[in-house]
Amino acid sequence: MVKVYEKHRWSIAFLIAVGVIVNYFDRTNMSIAMPLLKKEFNLTAGQMGIFLSAFAWSYAFLQIPVGPLLDKIGVKWVTRTGTIIWTLDGSLSFNCGGQWMGINYIIQGVIRGW
């Protein structure tokens, strides 16, 4: 008799692989779009640096409290919650412009730090 987890392990591996690929593309898209953003919003080199580092700082800041949260409520629920919030934010980010785009980028760092 085949156990349930053996039956679905390749489906789970495929979903994890798709999530990793989407995460990779989502991380690299801002560096590719930066020349166009610089031109459209007349950003200086310093402003571009702040914009690109906002993701890293918000990601790093959330690493500290998420460890105890994982211990308290478990990996399964933290991962599910983070994935749902990441999906909602990604779905709503297509309509961002101006300062909201920067705020959304910070939110993305927070979600991935989650």
Q: Are 59 and 106 in contact (CB under 8 A)?
A: no
Please report, for residues 9, 15, 44, 102, 110, the alpha-carbon distance to residue 89 in angstroms, rounded to integers and kept in the order given: 28, 19, 27, 13, 11
Confidence check: pLDDT of 73 > 70: yes
Domain with 44, as residue range(s), is 4-113
15-68, pLDDT tens digit by residue?
A: 889 988 987 887 777 778 888 888 888 888 898 888 788 777 877 888 888 888
Structural domains counted in the chain: 1
